[in-house]
Amino acid sequence: MTSAIRKAQAQDLQGILTLFRELRPNDPELAPHNASRLFEQLLQQDFVHMFVVEVGEELVATCTLAVIPNLASGGRSYALIEHVVTLAAHRGHGYGRAVLNHAIDFAWKLDCYKVMLLSGVQRPEAHKLYESLGFNGDVERGFVKKRLP
């Protein structure tokens, strides 16, 4: 079956929520009206780009790319990739690699000077993928502070 990579659209909400539940099964579930409202807001942002991989009529992978304007680096933007996930049943077929390459190429076309991503330390299989795409975990160090519930 062939796959297609495209920007997320309003009708993709349930498929994306399914992907996110697989990535973060312990996250609290969003009420449907909140999910719809938030998704609509995301899709309307000029600097946020959600990409999906569709196989048949099923969304099997996604990632989000945020492009941030910048006064440093000659005014060139930088990009951040988040929420990279492929459905477990579809891993190993190159969908994650394809959606990441698509997001990276999109950032380069927008003349971003760098693309960053964070990944949980407990995900070494994902780290291998990121490294194979040229990400280097030793160039800069990421720090995260999360707000307690």
The pLDDT value given to residue 38: 97
* pLDDT at site 133: 96
116: nearest Cα among 69, 66, 71 = 66
Task: Determine the Cα angle at 52 with ends 3 and 30, to 5°.
Answer: 140
> pTM of the prediction?
0.93
CA dist., res. 62 & res. 148, Å (int): 27
Residues (pLDDT < 50) of the chain are none
CB 127 within 8 A of CB 117: no
CA atoms within 13 A on the CB side of 107: 28
Query: Within its chain, how far is the Cα of 78 from the centroid?
Result: 15
